[in-house]
Amino acid sequence: MSLHIYDTSTRAIREFVPVEAGRASIYLCGATVQAPPHIGHIRSGVNFDVLRRWLTRSGYDVTFCRNVTDIDDKIIRVSAEEGVPWFVVAERNQRAFTWAYDTLGCLPPTVEPRATGHVPEMITLMERLIERGHAYASGGDVYFDVRSYADRYGSLSNQKLENMRGAGDTDDESCKRDSRDFALWKGEKPGEPTWPTPWGPGRPGWHLECSAMATKYLGPTFDIHGGGIDLIFPHHENEIAQSQAAGDGFARNWMHNGMLKIGAEKMSKSLGNSLLIPEMVQKVRPVELRYYLAGPHYRSSIEYSEEALQEAAAAYQRIEGFVTRAAEVIHDVDADAPLPQAFADALDDDLGTPQALAVVHEVVREGNVALSRGDKEAVARLLAETQNMLDVLGLDPRSPQWRGAGSDLTPVVDALVAVALEQRKAARERKDYAAADAIRNQLAAAGITVEDTPHGARWELSH
């Protein structure tokens, strides 16, 4: 079976056939950096990180572009409220997003373009649209003429033009030919940053940015455009219109992840229910939070609850427990071991992570049985399968990401704990159980759990 994904534009599951054989190109709408991220923002990053990993595992050379919108009405508003330059707001929050993506194990994008660095490409795109009769300059602004594209506008969101309201992106509707026309470029306003263009100084419109950046790095036609379901209209609808009206094929497939909700309301800062990433990783470990976000199907909504979060953490710890115990018996894991067919089939079926994780847990159950029987051959096979599946999902507890690469104190702690365990072993051999228990309790107080196994005592940091 080959990869099949749900394409929003055709509202159907379609086989993934790349523009160029052996290569896959993905554009993901990234952060608008007016505030730090909550888990609703980062869910998208985790979902598309799994897609990228699976495409790579399937043999594709993946180019993954995730943009940053670093100029926007909201950023300008926060800048005014705080009395700091707009770029201070943008830089601060982009760093917060980068930290959050890194903390949850998302691979760095191949390229991460900022909107403000691509004004020349935006100007070129506007010139092409004006030449083709699909855009016009008015009062320092530049607008897309929706009626010039009326026969196709609304196809992604399955709407008809006559049923749509105005774009609502300017206070001066008199500049527009039609209230539904949307701004490609916004003319200069007092106190706002500007860039020069043939139509006067101003700043980019939100929709224009993504079309210019996507086609610059992925070409006029590319494989997958992703983002949250809330972006289908107007953002992605407008991207399609302006890109195809300019003559680009643009995205072949559109993938949209569901929202994360609290009490059936969409996650948003305006509701005051944001769960910021630094707060979340105090509730559970980052890898457990990733498991929680990656576990549901990417197109489903997630109803957040503390109970569900803790259940996800416990489920991950069961997987982690097997990997840790098995690794004490099997030291060399076959990284090239084939994945279980059921796991591959699940991910090939529109990235079915719930079914894929069900396979992981089934293999873990078999592995625990093999461990109890002392069947090292079976343990070796099942450990390799488990770790290879977890690697695809970005959840392997033995990967450098989750073992603290770059600041790993494991060797130091290993050496110190080894001394304590030798002292404890000696106390047990002389049947001084009070001393042995005291050593164990001292380690527990330091956050180190000791477990006696048939292969000797092992330790791990307490969760």
Sketch out the chain's domains with CATH numbers.
Answer: 4-257 (3.40.50.620), 265-393 (1.10.730.10), 410-461 (no CATH)
- Whether pLDDT at 300 is above 50: yes
* 449 secondary structure, DSSP code: E
Per-residue tokens: 300: 């489903």
CA nearest neighbour of 185 among 151, 142, 221: 142
Apex 268 CA angle, 160 and 286, nearest 5: 120
DSSP string, 392-437: HHT--TTSTTTTTTTS--HHHHHHHHHHHHHHHHHHHHTT-HHHHH
For the chain, the straight-line distance linking the first and the last C-alpha, in angstroms and rounded, comes to 39
Do 277 and 318 meet the contact criterion of CB atoms below 8 Å apart? no
* 1 secondary structure, DSSP code: -
The total number of residues shown for the chain amounts to 463
- Whether pLDDT at 461 is above 80: no
Residue 64 has φ and ψ, to the nearest 5°, of -115, 115
When mean pLDDT is compared across 14-23, 159-168, 216-225, the lowest value belongs to 159-168
Q: pLDDT value at position 169?
A: 56
Q: How confident is the model at residue 430 (pLDDT cuts 50, 70, 90)?
A: confident
- Whether pLDDT at 201 is above 50: yes
CA nearest neighbour of 448 among 460, 435, 433: 460
CA distance 103 to 402: 9
Q: pLDDT value at position 165?
A: 75
* 162/192: higher pLDDT: 192
Q: How confident is the model at residue 407 (pLDDT cuts 50, 70, 90)?
A: very low
Residue 91, classified by CB atoms within 10 Å of its CB into exposed (0-12), middle (13-18) or buried (19+), is: middle
CA distance 20 to 24: 7
pLDDT tens-digit series, residues 242-251: 999 999 999 9
CA nearest neighbour of 315 among 458, 448, 457, 463: 463
CA distance 369 to 385: 15
* 272 secondary structure, DSSP code: T
Percent of the chain with pLDDT over 90: 78
- Whether pLDDT at 80 is above 70: yes
CA distance 384 to 11: 37
Give 82's contacts (C-beta < 8 A, 6+ positions apart).
Answer: 89
Q: pLDDT value at position 427?
A: 76
Residue 166, SS3 per DSSP: coil
- For residue 234, whether the previous peptide bond is cis, meaning omega lies within 30 degrees of 0, is yes
